[in-house]
A and B are shown apart, each in its own frame.
Chain A
Amino acid sequence: MTKIITIIALFVASIVSAQTQFEKGMGSALKLWSEGKNTEAIAQFERIALVEKTNWLPNYYIALINTTQAFQEQDKIKVVALLEAAQKAQDACNDLAIDNPEVIVMQAMIHTAWIVYDPMTNGQKLYGDVMFLYEKAEKIAPNNPRVVFNKASFEKGGAEYFGQDTQPMCEKIKASIELFANFKPETPFHPNWGIERAKQEAENCK
Chain B
Amino acid sequence: MKSILRIFIFILCYSTFGQTTINGKVEDEKGRPIAAANVFIVGTYDGAISDETGNFSFITTAVGTQKLQISFLAYETINYDFEISNYQPITFKLKENIGNLDAVVISAGTFKAGDNSKVTALKPLDIVTTAGSAGNIIAALETLPGTQTVGESGRLFVRGGESDETQTYVDGIRVAQPYGATANNIPTRGRFSPFLFKGITFSTGGYSAEYGDALSSVLLLNTIDEPEQNQTDVSIMTVGVGLGKTKKWEKSSFSVNTSYINLAPYQLIVPQHIDWNKPVQAISGESVFRYKFKSGLLKIYGAFDYSTFDLNQKDINFDEKVRFDLQNSNFYLNTSYKGNLTDYMQIQTGFSFGYSKNNIGISDDKVANNERALHYKIKLRQSFSNRFKLNIGAEMFHTNFDEKFTDFGTNTFDYGYQNNVVAFFSEAEIFLSKNVAFNLGLRSSNASIVDEFTIESRLSFAYKVSENSQFSMAYGNFNQTAKPDYLKFANHLNYESTSHYILNYMYNKSGKMFRAEAYFKDYDNLVKYDGTQPDYTSNYNNKGFGYSKGLDLFWRDSKTIKNLDYWISYSFIDSERDYKNYESQVTPSFIATHNFSIVTKYWLDKLKSQIGVTYSFNSGRPYDNPNAVEFMNEKTKSYNNISLSWAYLLSQQKILYFSVSNITGSSNVFGYQYANSPDLAGQFQRQAITQTADRFFFVGFFWTISDNKKTNNLDNL
B-contacting residues, A163-202, CB 8 Å:
none
Indicate which residue in A48, A84, A131, A162 contacts B45 across the interface (CB closer than 8 Å): A48
CB of A91 closer than 8 Å to a CB of B:
no
A-contacting residues, B2-26, CB 8 Å:
2-4, 7-8, 11
Nearest Cβ distance between residue A83 and chain B, in whole angstroms? 9
Cβ of B3 and Cβ of A2 under 8 Å apart? yes
Cβ of B651 and Cβ of A162 under 8 Å apart? yes
Cβ of B49 and Cβ of A128 under 8 Å apart? no
Cβ of A128 and Cβ of B711 under 8 Å apart? yes
Cβ of B45 and Cβ of A51 under 8 Å apart? yes
Nearest Cβ distance between residue A137 and chain B, in whole angstroms? 12
Nearest Cβ distance between residue B19 and chain A, in whole angstroms? 15
User: Given known contacts A47-B40, A51-B44, is B229 in contact with A128 (CB within 8 Å)?
Assistant: yes
Cβ of B36 and Cβ of A124 under 8 Å apart? no
19 contacts between A and B (CB under 8 A): A2-B1, A6-B3, A6-B4, A9-B7, A21-B45, A44-B47, A51-B45, A80-B108, A120-B563, A124-B714, A124-B715, A128-B228, A128-B710, A132-B229, A132-B707, A135-B707, A158-B652, A158-B710, A162-B649
CB of B31 closer than 8 Å to a CB of A:
no
Nearest Cβ distance between residue A41 and chain B, in whole angstroms? 10
Interfacial chain B residues near A161, Cβ < 8 Å: 608
User: Given known contacts A39-B49, A125-B715, is B43 in contact with A131 (CB within 8 Å)?
Assistant: no
User: Given known contacts A84-B107, A121-B125, is B7 in contact with A47 (CB within 8 Å)?
Assistant: no
CB of A24 closer than 8 Å to a CB of B:
yes
Q: A84-B103, A128-B711, A129-B228 are in contact. List 10 more A-B contacts (CB 8 A).
A: A2-B1, A21-B45, A40-B49, A46-B71, A51-B43, A77-B510, A120-B563, A124-B712, A124-B715, A125-B715
Bound CA–CA A121/B126 (angstroms): 9
Identify which of A76, A85, A131, A135 gathers the most chain B CB atoms within 10 Å of its CB: A131
Interfacial chain B residues near A13, Cβ < 8 Å: 7, 11
A1-34 vs B, CB cutoff 8 Å, 1 = contact: the mask equals: 0100110011001000000010011000000000
A66-93 vs B, CB cutoff 8 Å, 1 = contact: the mask equals: 0000000000110011001100000000
Cβ of A6 and Cβ of B43 under 8 Å apart? no
CB of B38 closer than 8 Å to a CB of A:
yes
Nearest Cβ distance between residue B225 and chain A, in whole angstroms? 14
* Number of residues on chain B facing chain A (CB within 8 A): 46
Indicate which residue in A5, A25, A120, A162 contacts B4 across the interface (CB closer than 8 Å): A5
**Total A-B contacts with CB atoms under 8 angstroms apart:** 97
Interfacial chain B residues near A127, Cβ < 8 Å: 652, 710-711
Q: From DSSP, what is the main secondary structure of chain A's interface residues? A: helix
Cβ of A9 and Cβ of B8 under 8 Å apart? yes
Nearest Cβ distance between residue B612 and chain A, in whole angstroms? 12
CB of B42 closer than 8 Å to a CB of A:
yes
Which residue numbers of A lie inside 8 Å of B, CB to CB?
2, 5-6, 9-10, 13, 21, 24-25, 39-40, 43-44, 46-48, 50-51, 76-77, 80-81, 84-85, 120-121, 124-125, 127-129, 131-132, 135, 158, 161-162
Instruction: Give the nearest-CB partner of A163 in chain B.
Output: B608
CB of B231 closer than 8 Å to a CB of A:
yes
Cβ of B4 and Cβ of A47 under 8 Å apart? no
Q: Name the 9 nearest CB pairs between A and B, nearest first.
A: A128-B711, A131-B708, A43-B38, A25-B45, A131-B710, A43-B49, A132-B229, A47-B40, A80-B107
Interfacial chain A residues near B229, Cβ < 8 Å: 128-129, 132
Nearest Cβ distance between residue B663 and chain A, in whole angstroms? 24
CB of B658 closer than 8 Å to a CB of A:
no
Identify which of B7, B608, B649 gathers the most chain A CB atoms within 10 Å of its CB: B7
CB of B104 closer than 8 Å to a CB of A:
yes
User: Given known contacts A120-B603, A162-B652, is B104 in contact with A81 (CB within 8 Å)?
Assistant: yes
Cβ of A9 and Cβ of B4 under 8 Å apart? yes
Which residue numbers of B lie inside 8 Å of A, CB to CB?
1-4, 7-8, 11, 36, 38, 40, 42-49, 71, 73, 103-104, 107-108, 123, 125, 228-229, 231, 510-511, 563, 565, 603, 608, 649, 651-652, 706-708, 710-712, 714-715
Instruction: Give the nearest-CB partner of A164 in chain B.
Output: B651
Instruction: Give the nearest-CB partner of B605 in chain A.
Output: A161
Bound CA–CA A25/B44 (angstroms): 10
Bound CA–CA A48/B103 (angstroms): 26
Interfacial chain A residues near B652, Cβ < 8 Å: 127, 158, 162
Bound CA–CA A127/B704 (angstroms): 13
Interfacial chain B residues near A80, Cβ < 8 Å: 104, 107-108
Instruction: Give the nearest-CB partner of B41 in chain A.
Output: A47
Cβ of A47 and Cβ of B651 under 8 Å apart? no
Instruction: Give the nearest-CB partner of A22 in chain B.
Output: B45
Indicate which residue in B43, B71, B649, B708 contacts A128 across the interface (CB closer than 8 Å): B708
Cβ of B36 and Cβ of A6 under 8 Å apart? no
Indicate which residue in B47, B125, B603 contacts A47 across the interface (CB closer than 8 Å): B47
Bound CA–CA A161/B609 (angstroms): 12
Bound CA–CA A188/B11 (angstroms): 27
Interfacial chain A residues near B104, Cβ < 8 Å: 80-81, 84
Instruction: Give the nearest-CB partner of A76 in chain B.
Output: B510
Instruction: Give the nearest-CB partner of B601 in chain A.
Output: A120
Instruction: Give the nearest-CB partner of A1 in chain B.
Output: B1
Nearest Cβ distance between residue A124 and chain B, in whole angstroms? 5
Interfacial chain B residues near A48, Cβ < 8 Å: 45
Nearest Cβ distance between residue B378 and chain A, in whole angstroms? 29
Interfacial chain B residues near A50, Cβ < 8 Å: 40, 42-43
Bound CA–CA A162/B4 (angstroms): 71
Bound CA–CA A81/B36 (angstroms): 15
Bound CA–CA A107/B629 (angstroms): 71
Cβ of A47 and Cβ of B712 under 8 Å apart? no
Interfacial chain B residues near A135, Cβ < 8 Å: 707-708
Cβ of A47 and Cβ of B707 under 8 Å apart? no
Cβ of A47 and Cβ of B38 under 8 Å apart? yes
Bound CA–CA A47/B712 (angstroms): 42
Instruction: Give the nearest-CB partner of B230 in chain A.
Output: A132
Interfacial chain A residues near B706, Cβ < 8 Å: 128
Interfacial chain A residues near B8, Cβ < 8 Å: 9
Interfacial chain B residues near A9, Cβ < 8 Å: 4, 7-8
User: Given known contacts A128-B231, A132-B229, is B45 in contact with A44 (CB within 8 Å)?
Assistant: yes
Interfacial chain B residues near A44, Cβ < 8 Å: 45, 47
Interfacial chain B residues near A128, Cβ < 8 Å: 228-229, 231, 706, 708, 710-711
Bound CA–CA A151/B125 (angstroms): 27
Interfacial chain A residues near B11, Cβ < 8 Å: 13
